[in-house]
Amino acid sequence: MATFLKTSNRSLMAAIVLLLGLLAANLGTTGGQSIGVCYGMLGNNLPSASEVTSLYRSNNIKRMRIYDPNEAALQALKGSNIELMLGVPNSDLQKLASNPSDANSWVQRNVLSFWPSVRFRYIAVGNEVSPVNGGTASLAHFVLPAMQNVFNAIRSAGLHDHIKVSTAIDMTLIGNSYPPSQGAFRGDVRAYLDPIIGFLVYAKAPLLANVYTYFSYAGNPRDISLPYALFTSPSVVVWDGSRGYQNLFDAMMDALFSALERAGGASLEVVVSESGWPSAGGFATSVDNARSYYSNLIRHVKGGTPKRPGRAIETYLFAMFDENQKQPELEKHFGVFSPNKQPKYSLNFGGERIWDVSAEYNATVSLKSDM
């Protein structure tokens, strides 16, 4: 009997250690690993790229988004272990769409020449292009062929399983968002968006989406409360069947998931490629509101949404710095750091763990010594 008990205890301990290892791995990917920060550069008082990379590392920010292949930033990222979302600027879309050799050259120059010392994660081909937005409508028909040409260049290098090619949309492409289960894209963007969604399904790449509760709230403060937009509502605000929504972010995300399902993209993950709240310059802007939004967003996204519970949402905060060359005034105040590298808010970019794995591991070591 004693031998049996000792064997059983050893088996139990092995199972516990395995479970804790799986939990540690899961927490590592769904906790702090889900948060990145966008590095915008439209300021004349910003620190050097090498200083910025050091700031990311010292604050445990493991992912970065840049909007074009800035040489200084790419050089500074070498060996940093920071994962990168690299943007193809809208101004390059026509060139990369029209000529596969230009796409090959772009990928060779800006990606392959830095890989693997720079850890590219995504290439965002275009940002917020829309066939119904007058500023970008003329570019809409270039987005998909540019994505395909960049993808083919990445695949030719054998890196398509490591570097995913996508595009970043904004939420104005959603036509119906209430209730979230009835979310649907606008009818006049489906001819543009459906083929892109089909390509993403084929390429096993996520859709990138810039999601701002601030603009939804500022545009309709009569029907949307500030606590609902800031994740501070004490109870459910919106019921959609059996699903309760306590914050606007979840409702927007689930409307997007529903819209994707209706467009053949039920299998797609969504990466939130931008989300933030300005600290000044407009309606409901304050340091307190911005601090509340960013800190609550970081904690919240690791838990999923009512429609997709438990599935962490990879999210990029917008933005690293206040950028004094942006317009209008509101756009200058999204930074989580000031240009002098001082934090505007106390944020835990590493996230919060729901289980102290090290303590549990120590307990199992103690258990082993008693066997």
Mind telling me the catalytic residues?
128, 274
Among the listed residues 142, 172, 153, 59, the one whose alpha carbon sits nearest the alpha carbon of residue 115? 153
Polymer length of the chain: 371
Beta carbons within 8 Å of 280's beta carbon, 6+ residues apart: 286, 287, 329, 330, 332, 333
Neighbouring-strand partners of residue 192: none
Region of residue 310 (phi > 0: left; psi between -120 and 50: alpha; otherwise: beta)? left
Bridge pairing between strands 238-240 and 184-185: unpaired
C-alpha span between 323 and 42 (Å, rounded): 5
HSE toward the beta carbon, residue 60, CA cutoff 13 A = 12
> End-to-end CA distance of the chain, in Å?
14
Tokens coding 24? 């540690």
Closest to 299 measured CA to CA, from 243, 358, 354, 238 = 354
Structure tokens at 144: 């998909």
Q: Number of helices (H) and strands (E), helices first, in the chain?
A: 12, 12
Cis omega (within 30 of 0) for bond into 218: no
- State how beta strands 119-127 and 35-38 pair: unpaired
Q: Does an H or E element contain 170, and which?
A: strand 164-170
Assign residue 351 a region (left: φ > 0; alpha: ψ between -120 and 50; beta: otherwise): left
Cβ(246)–Cβ(233) below 8 Å: yes
Tokens of 205: 């790449």
Q: Are 35 and 298 in contact (CB under 8 A)?
A: yes
What is the Cα gyration radius of the chain?
22
